[in-house]
Amino acid sequence: MVRAVSDRDLDVVVFGATGVTGRRVAAYLAERSAETGVRWAAAARDTAKLERLMAEIGVHAPQTIAADVGDASSLAAMASRTRVVLNLVGPYTLYGRPVIEACVAAGAHYADLTGEIPFVRRMIDEFDRPATAAAVKIVQVCGFEALPADLMVLLAAESARERWDEGLAAADLEVAVTPPPGRPRLSDGMSGGTFQSLSAVAGGENAGVIADPAALIDDVAIAAAVRRVSPIPLAPRRGPDNAVIAPMAPAAFINPAVIHRSAALIASSEGRPPEPFRYREGVVLGGSAASLPARVALAGVLSATQVCVRGLARARPSVREPAAGVLARLGPSSGYGPDPDRLEGWRWTIALHARTSGGRSFAVHLEADGHPGYLATARLLGEAGMLLAEDGATPASAGCLTPAAALGSGGVARFERAGLRFSVVG
């Protein structure tokens, strides 16, 4: 028998709290619980190790839970106690499904940090209807990919409709990152978890969908329109003030599919036909005129890398699967990432330049703090989990959702506590 939500003793459980990002999510919830009273717990396979690693960063979990992706009964017990499970156990292609299954069965909302679009597609196919029937929100890609961009496009679309009764025709998103002082380190930008996820995607079934901007849209006609209007560009382009815009890092194949699914889901929930728009994104490589050749060369390398990833994903299994296995062995492991002293001090901005169907232009800006892939992502997921746990704080939707469709724009101000400051300009 499923325990009623009102009878649960926890609001949020962080599953996989022994990992680098999981510990940061736990630290954020510990800090926020002092302000809000949120009831949270940390979960992992080995609770003794969990408590030791948490103590190393000065965090004490009010409760710890033993749970293992290979033990369905432990996942069921964990999910039945809480309103929300935040899943940090990846690669999700390999380990995510049992956790989602347990949450749907137990009536607990779920969120994760996956960027593995073929896995997200499979979870939609398998769990969208059961989750909808159970009034459960399954929210994937809920970190740096793709929560900020997804919410920014939502804010732009809502602003266009409220101000001019027009839809979006185009949205160009540009990310600029300023690292902390000091000599850069390879680990600053190299995430072992992300690398292993990309390897799992490349070697997994249906890998070719990563290059499809409509991979997460169910309606065939809408999907065809999205593919026609908004293919995923991988070539560098020039921006104002000598800027060079490279393909999005760590991958150009994550945000577009999420953002277009958001638009389709939100249009359906509001009873209006979807209006596919062109979406582009990239990382700004700014600098002096003298550095332009070097920046163009770097953008070219980043672009070529993504073209190779796309090519590998489209290769036949006999080529793709062994190559992905080699990459997984040669690349950094899931625990590899920035040193603790390099998590703070990062500053990053996102500018979304929007154009409406009537030709009006305006922008949505975001200013943010903390390492995007670790510290900021952890805070984002933690705040999203708190929102999902609160009655009436998010739209009354259920199923396999995107961050924008699950959270709505009403909670955008809450992310300021997580270091994100959104504004609509013009």
Length of the chain: 426
pLDDT on residue 287: 87
Q: What is the model's pLDDT at position 373?
A: 85
* pLDDT score, position 267: 97
Report pLDDT digits (tens) over 86-137.
999 988 999 999 999 999 999 999 999 999 999 999 999 999 999 999 999 9
| Residue 343: predicted pLDDT | 78
Query: So what's the pLDDT on residue 331?
Result: 66
What does pTM read for this prediction?
Answer: 0.94
For residue 181, the model assigns a pLDDT of: 83
What was the pLDDT predicted at 183? 75
Residues in the chain, pLDDT under 70: 1-6, 185-195, 330-338
The pLDDT of residue 342 is: 74
pLDDT given for residue 334 in this prediction:
66
Report pLDDT digits (tens) over 140-149. Answer: 999 999 999 9
